A and B are shown apart, each in its own frame.
Chain A
């Protein structure tokens, strides 16, 4: 039967978590730049500290502006809640630190953002958390890598740098069969292109710096929980199912059947690690979220035009975009990413590093910098920047060629972007002569 349901995505992007301010009538969400919140009485203070009442105490733990962002992102993801963090890296760390510790093990896709790879490979190992990396398309490898001390499986919705499409339904099934949650980095896709919870993921995080904010103005992250993973049934997570001495022996799964993970992440993770988001940052990201559906549609439309242009250009050896039939995940992308595969992708110039450098320096509209997901189009040449210390053989192992260029397609007129690329390709061609 037809009946009511929650509002649609575009409506939630504007309204979820926010109402006119009851104190002032302000329609837009106010920026609550305050460290603390006045208690009504000593009893009120004690009840807030003891989780007998909901409310704000101190902005490292929660803040009214930041909470609007958290609730809105959770609504867009279809989750039970979210926690805003100082960066995407902080969100990843919070996800792991909430349920893992010394002696724990993670199974992660090898196709990760470099920062995530650094955290898992070098930094967390120093704290006793080991990671086994697997090729994301090798489904059996995910299963084989799970150990008795494994705490989670982790991958990116679109892997780095080749845009490997994470087969969330199959990888999450492997995770769930082992009593483990699947954590995904959804930065490149945003909930507008894919809602990982609907496909089986349990935890999602974003670098909100990118498309969620969309304007290249702030650094932030966010971690959302589907509320669907049964921590008690798994039996692997005493962090959530046994008394926690750090908060009056609270058993988080008893406090909240579907929100236990976020309770501990906030009550311990934000309290002790402290990587919270500024209310001002949250407000700026909220401005971005309000237009996320419009921007993502345009990002994808522009990316498709640019991909088609590059794929047919004689100076381009190959374009790595899952909507192209040659991409190894083309069929999977059609199923899991029907709205599109985002607007960040790489392509290979014919020639050597010199052509890549010449191409980059000839671009006028594209900004040469280390970021993605801006409303402006961005470009970087890994062989001469992020990976400049590597020789060509080492680059190849990393899936990067001497002429590999990464683009982040913005919201400009696609014809202007193509004209800029066409001119720069001509310069690169001359450099090869």
Chain B
């Protein structure tokens, strides 16, 4: 589905069904140097279980025109503008990693438009080491390899994503390289600096009024589960802890779906 958001073309995957004019809506927001395709199984499931679905490509990522936006706050405003463009009054906001911060900030900025908040593979603050930021600046390919290795906890996650026969590390690496090569400038460094710079997480959490649910990976070393304690407390969030690294939707698609169904029933 193609939309005009803040004067620029934006894309949202609708889960394999045309986007209906009304009904409950789930919005999925991807993480750094990713696009909507990290959500397609979950998006298809919700689209075929009574929901409208928008799995967005953030500005400058995938099919959405750039440039990339400079902060989590700007991305949250863009997300709310996208809801306007799609004719959606309120939606469950689901984000992964950097996208989880965008969903959090959007839920705080427009509490009445957030039917629920699901933060997957999240942490606050989402600080990025100076060493990784430097590598992202000087040698993005090396940084992608590092993040890819950090993000996967297994060499044999089953049933794989989007299905059997897919090599997750290869898929994740290829996606990051594709998004980086299509982008204007060094999008990898940009996205990581956006995560690193976000300082409004606790204030945002205090303003969120909807139910919140955190889904964290017990083997996640990018956003360790222990780094969500204060955030979960402020949000009064339910927390699902599943066996996975940071690439939760790829390593444990069924477990993530089961956890999400607690937050967003069919």
Contact = CB atoms under 8 A, between A and B. Distances in A.
B149 A227 contact: no
Given A4-B149, A51-B163, A56-B159, A258 B174 contact: yes
A163 to B, nearest CB: 29
Contacts of A95: none
Interface size, B (range): 35 or more
B164 A64 contact: yes
A50 B15 CA distance: 11
B158 to A, nearest CB: 8
Contacts of B148: 6
A387 interface: no
B35 interface: yes
B192 interface: no
B146 A75 contact: no
B156 A16 contact: yes
A84 to B, nearest CB: 8
B162 A256 contact: yes
Given A7-B155, A19-B154, A54-B159, A259 B166 contact: yes
Say what secondary structure dominates the interface of chain B.
helix
Contacts of A17: 155-156, 167
B156 to A, nearest CB: 4
Contact of A6 (B35, B48, B169): B169
Interface of B: 13, 16, 35, 37, 40-41, 44-45, 48, 62, 131-132, 134-135, 142, 145-146, 148-150, 154-156, 158-167, 169-171, 174-175, 177-178, 182, 253-254, 257
Contact of A54 (B149, B154, B160, B174): B160
A258 B135 contact: no
A228 B177 contact: yes
B165 A262 contact: yes
A46 B44 CA distance: 12
B171 A19 contact: no
A18 interface: yes
Contact of A67 (B37, B146, B150, B165): B165
Given A70-B164, A82-B167, A53 B149 contact: no
Interface string A47-71: 1001111111000001110111011
B266 to A, nearest CB: 9
B255 to A, nearest CB: 11
Interface string A69-80: 011001100111
A56 B182 CA distance: 34
Nearest to A255: B40
A254 to B, nearest CB: 6
B170 A79 contact: yes
Interface of A: 1, 3-7, 12, 15-19, 46-47, 50-56, 62-64, 66-68, 70-71, 74-75, 78-84, 226-228, 230, 248, 250, 254-259, 262-263, 266
Contacts of A75: 155, 167, 169-170
A63 B163 CA distance: 11
A80 B167 contact: yes
A383 B163 CA distance: 47
A173 to B, nearest CB: 15
A16 to B, nearest CB: 5
Given A1-B131, A6-B148, A52-B41, A258 B171 contact: yes
B45 A67 contact: no
A228 B178 contact: yes
Contacts of A266: 163, 165
The 5 closest A-B pairs by CB, nearest first: A227-B174, A74-B167, A70-B165, A67-B164, A52-B45
Contacts of A47: 45, 48
B170 A80 contact: yes
A19 B156 CA distance: 6
Given A19-B154, A52-B45, A248-B16, A62 B135 contact: no
A3 B150 CA distance: 9
B171 A5 contact: no
A61 B161 CA distance: 15
B44 A52 contact: yes
Contacts of B170: 74-75, 78-81, 227
B166 A80 contact: yes
Contacts of A82: 165, 167
Nearest to B254: A53
Nearest to B135: A1
Given A1-B132, A50-B44, A67-B158, 4 more contacts: A16-B167, A19-B156, A50-B48, A228-B177
B162 A254 contact: no
Given A55-B159, A71-B165, A5 B149 contact: yes
Contacts of B155: 7, 12, 15-19, 75
Contact of B163 (A15, A62, A228): A62
Contacts of B62: 257
Contacts of A63: 164
A423 B156 CA distance: 50
B159 to A, nearest CB: 4
A15 B35 CA distance: 29
B156 A259 contact: no
B159 A254 contact: no
Contact of A71 (B146, B150, B156, B162): B156
Nearest to A83: B165
B254 to A, nearest CB: 6
Contact of B166 (A46, A66, A262): A262
A6 B150 CA distance: 9
Contacts of A16: 155-156, 167
